Amino acid sequence: MTSDKRVRQRGLWFEEMELGTVYEHRPGRTVTEADNTFFTAQTMNTQALHLDAAFSESTAFGARLVNSMFTLSTVVGLSVAQLTQGTIVANLGFSEVTFPKPMFHGDTLYAETLIVDKRESKSRPGEGIVTFAHTGRNQHGDVVATAVRKTLVRLRPAEDAS
């Protein structure tokens, strides 16, 4: 059986994003030692808490921590396919970034996003500003990262209005 119908995966148009809705992004992402070491080295972050097992064992955490910037990047990344794939114009900024609990090698990160604000752009026709509140949780449900992110998102094109 063949079909002429095709569906291309994309994020949501501005009009499809509903205030107060929480979008759960699945599947999660299990973070490996290789992920953490590569990201830490690639970003020139020489913090011993990420790279030095012997040093990290002597800290209050007792083990190496996953780089918090990797955690934040992954939380945002987990949201892309569902919310902004092909519909985002730009990130406008991040605020209220917190890391209440650490991530460790082998932890699985899950993300969810709350739409907290949106308005059509006054200076850029066909685009709107959407504010996301991202939350990352580990496999135990502990919050490991939060961030508020403002984005510029495309409105639904007229030819796609159906």
For residue 5, tell me if it sits in a domain. Answer: no
For residue 106, tell me if it sits in a domain. Answer: yes
Q: What pTM was estimated for this model as a whole? A: 0.91
For residue 83, tell me if it sits in a domain. Answer: yes
For residue 59, tell me if it sits in a domain. Answer: no
Q: How far is Cα 99 from Cα 5, in angstroms, rounded to an integer?
A: 44
Residue 162, pLDDT score:
55
Residue 86, pLDDT score:
94
Q: How far is Cα 125 from Cα 39, in angstroms, rounded to an integer?
A: 37
For residue 53, tell me if it sits in a domain. Answer: no
For residue 58, tell me if it sits in a domain. Answer: no
Among 96, 81, 136, which residue's Cα sits nearest to residue 113? Answer: 136
Residue 160, pLDDT score:
63
Among 23, 28, 45, 27, which residue's Cα sits nearest to residue 36? Answer: 45
Question: How many domains are contained in the chain?
Answer: 1
Compute the radius of gyration of the chain from its Cα atoms. Answer: 19
Residue 6, pLDDT score:
77
Containing structural domain, residue 79: 15-31+67-156
- DSSP, residue by residue, 71-108: HHHHHHHHHHHHHTTTTEEEEEEEEEEE-SS--BTT-E
Residue 8, pLDDT score:
80
Residue 2, pLDDT score:
73
Residue 161, pLDDT score:
60
For the chain, residues with pLDDT lower than 50 are none
CATH of the domain at 71: 3.10.129.10
For residue 161, tell me if it sits in a domain. Answer: no
For residue 86, tell me if it sits in a domain. Answer: yes
Distant-in-sequence, close-in-space partners of 53: CB < 8 Å, separation ≥ 6: 63, 64
Q: 15-42 pLDDT, tens per residue?
A: 999 999 999 999 999 999 999 999 999 9
